[in-house]
Structure 1
Amino acid sequence: AMSVTLANQLLDALAKPFRLREQEIFVTASIGIAFASRDDASAEEVLRDADTAMFHAKATGKARVVTFDQSMHARFRHQLQVETELRRALERNEFEVLYQPFVRADTHRIWGAEALIRWRHPHRALLNPYEFLAIAEDTGLIVPIGRLVLEHACSQCATWNAVETHEGSPIVVSVNVSARQLADATFIHDLDQILASTKVTPANLMIEITETVLLAEHEITQRTIAALRDRGILLAVDDFGTGYSSLGYLQRIPLDVLKVDRSFVSALGTPREHPEIIRTVAALGRDLGLAVVAEGVETQAHAALAAELGCTLLQGFYFAAPSTAETLTSSLRNDGAGL
């Protein structure tokens, strides 16, 4: 269609750099196109559809042209509904934080736990993160939701470490933090307030971020990561091995933990297995002085093989499913023989 051709010509024109005050500037555009689907369609309806297509263009990579179709409208309505329900969930305290332990590979005794959010939806039971976190990230609601998880995790971490644990060593609690959270200007300020109010020891808190986030060149994100290190908070790379191949960030950023992606662990003992990948990551961690977690340990064979390959910590349903803080507290009290 002529409209699509014109839109692509406009993108090509914008792709060329231009100079502003002696500086070269690059810009891109996301363009949405809509056609009147019926004779009596109003101008407002067509503009709304074009706007929906534009947002779809942004969500699928930006700097592109997208033509509206009815499935986009359905997705847009769904996202709007979930966003509204998420805002209501924050007001009504519908979120819960569960904990899944990390255990030592040699003794199977608890080393720490990962805080995992769930949404007790009033009409859809207990929802897992994959059912709502992407929309929370897109809308910015991940910031207040993430703050809630951080508050809960720090408070629980302080409680667990206020009494002597099973072998006198501290319990580390980890929290997943997204790119949107790290780039938020209030993140460190909020974190400092939470650390002060809960009196948690920073070295007992671990922040998990992805390789993609670590490799981002965003100045605010890099400052935030540096601020976490300055406070003595542990840093972990989640889903290690699934992102970029460059390992340069391991030299630039002082890390504490590498988490081997569950896809490598779940394949152990099957024709799809690549134990050399886990062995290499474990050796890399050992040489750099990092702990290495095997995620997704679901069988005794997984646990034995991951430990044999050099992983120092294990996590998965073989040891425990995500559970309430009270359940994990009982496990800590009875942890003498390991899980």
Structure 2
Amino acid sequence: MNITKSNTGDYSSSSGEQDILIIDDTPDNLRVLSSILARVGYKVRKALNWQMAFTACQTKLPDLILLDIMMPEIDGYEVCQRFKANQKTADIPVIFISALDDVFDKVKAFKVGGVDYITKPFEFAEVIVRVQNQLKLRSAQVEILNLNNQLEERVKQRTLELENALYKLKIEVRSRQELQNKLLENALRDALTSLPNRVFFINRLEQALNRTKSELDYHFAILFIDCDRFKIVNDSLGHLVGDELLIAIAKRLQTSLSPLDTLARLGGDEFGILLENVSDIDMVTGIAERILNSLAQHFQISRYQVFVNVSIGINWGNLNYEKPEYLLRDADTAMYRAKALGRGRFHIFNPEMHKQAIKTLELENDLRRALERQELIVYYQPIICLKTGSIGGFEALVRWQHPTRGLVLPTEFISVAEETGLIYAIDTWVLKSACNQLRIWLANSLVPKNLHMSVNLSAKLFLQPNFLAQIDQIIYETKLNPAFLELEITESVIMENSVDVKTTLNEIKQRNINLTMDDFGTGYSSLSYLHSFPLNTLKIDKSFLNLMQKNHQNMGLVPAMIGIAHSMGMKAIAEGVENSEQLSQIKDLKCNFAQGNLFSQPAPPQHILDLILSNPKW
């Protein structure tokens, strides 16, 4: 987990001896979080796993639990469910802290009983404020309950002194109401911007939702706003400037709204707006446009001119919603769609978006179970040496043998795996499986000894600090000669963090492992970086072969790509060869290798072994 500095000024603590339990399997995270919370006056206890957390609660019940999601054995969702199922711990508020930033993770967190959700890397100020809010709410509830109990006891004891008891009762009720209002006001206010906070906003949404059920002519809408460049401001200008910017954004948002509208800071750089008594969606989109135009103007923060765009999700309120949280959830979903479409714009929620979100969440859950149940399998597609016409190697291609959907191709689940971090385990497993399979084939006396194995790796894997150690471990365990291994990377691997990636690629090269640029020509295709990185092969995307076949008079970019590879001392592979005409064309262009269904579709290991032993020639 990455932790950044806080967007905070000076926070005064009213925590007293309030007790917070932090559950996280990473000691560094526990240390940093406990240090932050201890500095503002909280008593902090730490637990690395469910067992330690359960023991801690048996000793003393905490006032609040901060719970990480991604933990071994039992994840945060299951831990929260266990707490809520236990009568002793069911009322303890749980705040989730996780690197999972997707709306579906937030939905799941609230569904299992969480009261709030903080995304990593988090802002210290955000953690402190959310912790304060939840503890204030809990204190308010306890205080109100105590006052009620005291009041009832006094009434019982002073029944005989009716007049005096009634007088004192009025005093107590007034005092309790004042205290309750004060506590609730503090608990429902954002400390930085002085705007209402998420809890207050949810309450207002609930009131609006109830009105739609009783007033047929009443309509409302929600705007979920997220700043697109706020982290850049924080990282470049500092967190004090970031705090000033949030305050300025809040003030400018208020100028775009009427006094009847409700503006709240939901957390971090997220804001929510409740628009009431709106006539139609055009009126709502007009307000969204006004907000976008207003925020597009620069902010003068200290001595800096700061520009920031926002993405806005719009949800039209209707009585079909059972809970106000669902209204906000769908507005959040629409906001993420606005970001995906280019940022600095608004997008209106429609039910299909929620269906797709649920479908993706179900796919993620199935994929997690697939890893546990070993449902993933590796297919192999031969790569043909055009000089000899024989099989020169194979590309390892992951497949998912789903228990109900059958064989699922990676195009349906790799993007979800990358978003959730499951891609690390998948890629590592495929790499190890492919290396082990090639070693098994090479041990067969009838199999040629010069075969190589190509494995695609996600760009995210190259940024892992233990990436090289994992490769070394796999080579050691499978006893494969690294010269027979080729790692296929995309142009995005090189273009992101190119200095660090270049160092990693050079170390891979020192291990005598070959490197292939996959899908060459579909991305940046800058010759400047091809000279700088230790690549052995360029793999030409199949889309260029299709264009070449459609226009026989113009061979397109394929000859140029092959020429680039040869001029740099690299080999060229043409993928997606489907027919003999394409094969003839790339042979004439002196391409080194070819891959495609003309030779063989991706197949399981035994089928490939039979193909090898048949010694085909093309």
TM-score under structure 1 length normalisation: 0.87
Q: After TM superposition, where is structure 1 displaced by more than 6 Å over at least 4 residues in a row?
A: 15-20, 23-28
Quick one: which of 132, 135, 138 aligns to 2:416? 135
CA–CA separation in structure 2 for the residues paired with 1:60 and 1:92: 36
Give the C-alpha shift of residue 126 in structure 1: 0.8
Larger radius of gyration, structure 1 or 2? 2
Compared with structure 1, are the counterparts of its residues 4 and 289 closer, same or farther at alpha carbon in structure 2 (3 Å cutoff)? Answer: same
Q: Does 1:191 align with 2:471?
A: yes
Highest RCO, 1 vs 2 (Cα 8 Å, sep ≥ 6)? 1
Equivalent position SS for 1:317: coil
CA–CA separation in structure 2 for the residues paired with 1:4 and 1:226: 49
Q: Which residue of 2 aligns with 1:236?
A: 516
Q: Is contact 1:53–1:66 with CA below 8 Å preserved after alignment?
A: yes
CA–CA separation in structure 2 for the residues paired with 1:89 and 1:54: 31
Q: Is contact 1:157–1:205 with CA below 8 Å preserved after alignment?
A: no
What amino acid maps onto 1:4 in structure 2?
A
Give the 5 Å matches for 1:275-294: 275-294=555-574
CA–CA separation in structure 2 for the residues paired with 1:218 and 1:32: 34
Q: Is contact 1:17–1:26 with CA below 8 Å preserved after alignment?
A: no
What amino acid maps onto 1:35 in structure 2?
W
Give the C-alpha shift of residue 115 in structure 1: 0.3
Give the 5 Å matches for 1:207-222: 207-217=487-497, 220-222=500-502
Give the C-alpha shift of residue 35 in structure 1: 3.3
Quick one: which of 451, 461, 485 aligns to 1:181? 461
Q: Does 1:94 align with 2:94?
A: no
Q: Which residue of 2 aligns with 1:318?
A: 598
Equivalent position SS for 1:275: coil
What amino acid maps onto 1:151 in structure 2?
K
Q: Is contact 2:383–2:395 with CA below 8 Å preserved after alignment?
A: yes
Equivalent position SS for 1:114: strand
CA–CA separation in structure 1 for the residues paired with 2:519 and 2:402: 28
Q: Which digits, 9 at most, give the CA deviation of each residue in 1:198-217, with x for residues without a partner?
A: 12222211111112332223
Q: Is contact 1:112–1:172 with CA below 8 Å preserved after alignment?
A: yes
CA–CA separation in structure 2 for the residues paired with 1:104 and 1:322: 17
Q: Which digits, 9 at most, give the CA deviation of each residue in 1:127-182, with x for residues without a partner?
A: 111122122222222111111211111111222334567554x2111111122222
Quick one: which of 58, 70, 78 aligns to 2:359? 78
Q: Which residue of 2 aligns with 1:338?
A: 617
CA–CA separation in structure 1 for the residues paired with 2:490 and 2:430: 18
Give the 5 Å matches for 1:141-160: 141-160=422-441
Compared with structure 1, are the counterparts of its residues 269 and 42 closer, same or farther at alpha carbon in structure 2 (3 Å cutoff)? Answer: closer
Q: Which residue of 2 aligns with 1:4?
A: 288
CA–CA separation in structure 1 for the residues paired with 2:491 and 2:432: 24
What amino acid maps onto 2:496 in structure 1?
A
Q: Is contact 1:258–1:292 with CA below 8 Å preserved after alignment?
A: yes
Q: Which residue of 2 aligns with 1:259?
A: 539
CA–CA separation in structure 1 for the residues paired with 2:343 and 2:311: 5
Equivalent position SS for 1:156: helix
**What CA RMSD, in Å, does the superposition of the two structures yield over aligned residues?**
2.8
Larger mean Cα displacement after TM superposition, 322-331 or 221-230: 221-230
Give the C-alpha shift of residue 187 in structure 1: 2.8
CA–CA separation in structure 2 for the residues paired with 1:275 and 1:268: 5
CA–CA separation in structure 1 for the residues paired with 2:553 and 2:431: 35
Equivalent position SS for 1:88: helix
Q: Is contact 1:165–1:171 with CA below 8 Å preserved after alignment?
A: no
Q: Which digits, 9 at most, give the CA deviation of each residue in 1:279-338, with x for residues without a partner?
A: 111121111111101111111111111111121101111111111122222222332x52
CA–CA separation in structure 1 for the residues paired with 2:458 and 2:553: 29
Q: Is contact 1:17–1:27 with CA below 8 Å preserved after alignment?
A: no
Q: Which digits, 9 at most, give the CA deviation of each residue in 1:71-102, with x for residues without a partner?
A: 21111111111111111111111111000011
For structure 1, the 5+ residue unaligned runs are none
Q: Which residue of 1 aligns with 2:608?
A: 328
Compared with structure 1, are the counterparts of its residues 273 and 254 closer, same or farther at alpha carbon in structure 2 (3 Å cutoff)? Answer: farther
CA–CA separation in structure 2 for the residues paired with 1:185 and 1:126: 33
Compared with structure 1, are the counterparts of its residues 80 and 173 closer, same or farther at alpha carbon in structure 2 (3 Å cutoff)? Answer: same
Q: Is contact 2:457–2:487 with CA below 8 Å preserved after alignment?
A: yes
Identity of aligned residues (%): 36
Larger mean Cα displacement after TM superposition, 46-55 or 36-45: 36-45
Compared with structure 1, are the counterparts of its residues 39 and 103 closer, same or farther at alpha carbon in structure 2 (3 Å cutoff)? Answer: closer
Give the 5 Å matches for 1:51-62: 51-62=332-343
Q: Does 1:250 align with 2:530?
A: yes
CA–CA separation in structure 2 for the residues paired with 1:311 and 1:299: 16
Give the C-alpha shift of residue 229 in structure 1: 2.4
Aligned positions, number? 334
Give the C-alpha shift of residue 119 in structure 1: 0.9
Q: Which digits, 9 at most, give the CA deviation of each residue in 1:216-251, with x for residues without a partner?
A: 236554443333223222111111122224211111
Q: Does 1:296 align with 2:586?
A: no
What amino acid maps onto 1:8 in structure 2?
L
CA–CA separation in structure 2 for the residues paired with 1:323 and 1:17: 61
Give the C-alpha shift of residue 54 in structure 1: 2.9
What amino acid maps onto 2:333 in structure 1?
T
Compared with structure 1, are the counterparts of its residues 103 and 269 closer, same or farther at alpha carbon in structure 2 (3 Å cutoff)? Answer: same
Quick one: which of 20, 27, 45 aligns to 2:326? 45
CA–CA separation in structure 1 for the residues paired with 2:604 and 2:553: 33
Quick one: which of 109, 113, 118 aligns to 2:399? 118
Compared with structure 1, are the counterparts of its residues 319 and 181 closer, same or farther at alpha carbon in structure 2 (3 Å cutoff)? Answer: same
Compared with structure 1, are the counterparts of its residues 46 and 276 closer, same or farther at alpha carbon in structure 2 (3 Å cutoff)? Answer: closer
For structure 2, the 5+ residue unaligned runs are 1-284
